[in-house]
Structure formats: C-alpha cells, structure tokens
Structure 1
Amino acid sequence: MVLSTFLQAIATIASMLLNLYIWILIIATLLSWVRPDPYNPIVQVLYRLSEPVFAKVRALIPTNIGGLDLAPLIVIVALKFIDLTFIRILENFAQGMR
C-alpha cells in the first residue's frame, strides 16, 4: 500500500515536471522568434534550460528544413511520448499494486 502510493506520487511529480519543461521549451521557442533582450535574466534562464537539449537533437538529426528549426518540435513530441507511455505505465502499475 505504501509502495503503491509512493510510486503514484513519483509518477505524478514526474508528469508535472515534464509538462513544466515542455512549457519552458514552448516559451523559449516563441521568444526566439521575437529576439528579446539577451541580457534579460529570464531569457538567459530559458535559453540555458532549452538550448542544450536542442543542441543534442540538432547533432543527431538534421532539424533545419527550409529555414525552420524542428528541434523544439522533436523534443516536445519525445517528452509527450514519455509522459503518455512510461509515466502512465508507472501509474497503472502503482494502481495495480493496491
């Protein structure tokens, strides 16, 4: 009973963190379209959280198609896949333990 509650809590927190990171990626992508002040601390934090992941995807896959960078889309789809499969499997496993 305690283990199932613990696993359910881990799954919920992981899902929340994944969704928060997806929103950070979306905001960073939208900011890249308008060229905000690069010295703004919020902009710097957003870019520091998003650019390393985008760079790894760009190194693995050519993401620039017709001047459009698809790295954010690829990362967001991958994170949603993780959320909808692995996190849900963990939740279902925790519910099955009850």
Structure 2
Amino acid sequence: MSKIDKNKDNGIQITEMFMAEADGKCFYGNLIRSQDANGNPHLYSIITVNDGLIQACASDLKELGRLLDEMCLMYLNGLHRESGNFIEIYTMKYFLN
C-alpha cells in the first residue's frame, strides 16, 4: 500500500494553498494542479473573498497569481454592487452585471 493510499484510509487530505493580494489585504484559497492530455501543466484556484468566490486557471503560478490579484481588486472595487439585468435569449435566461 502506498503512502497516498494510507492517507486516504486515515481521512487525511493534503491541500496546497494559494494567496491573492488586493488593497493591502490577503485572501487564501486552494490550489489544484493537473496536466492536460499533452502533459502541459494546468493550475486552478478558488479563493473566498468576503462573501464571494473567485476562480482562475492558468499554465503557470505567476499568471495565476496575476489573474487572481486582478479579480480580487475588481471585487473589492464593487464589481458586483450593481444589481444587473436579466435577458432572455432563445428561452434561456442570462444575468448581466
């Protein structure tokens, strides 16, 4: 039995954390690493900011960090303060903000 299998039996899960920074505040979330069919790296992160979630994916950590930092700043600057509108296209309802 491998180490990974033993950890699964014990209920232990190792998680890699990732941080985004905006307006002097730090926000933390999980980092998920994977590869596509060609072996290229794929990084995915979900970060909780106040009462919302920010998600991004990239091929390297620097790009992922830049994307998350920008989205945190947009969120803190009130991106979702507008109530937005719903439109209907071919019987499907879409939300625009």
Taking structure 2 as the reference length, what is the TM-score of the superposition?
A: 0.28
For normalisation by structure 1, the TM-score amounts to 0.28
**Larger Rg, first or second structure (1 or 2):** 2
Higher RCO (Cα < 8 Å, 6 or more apart): 1
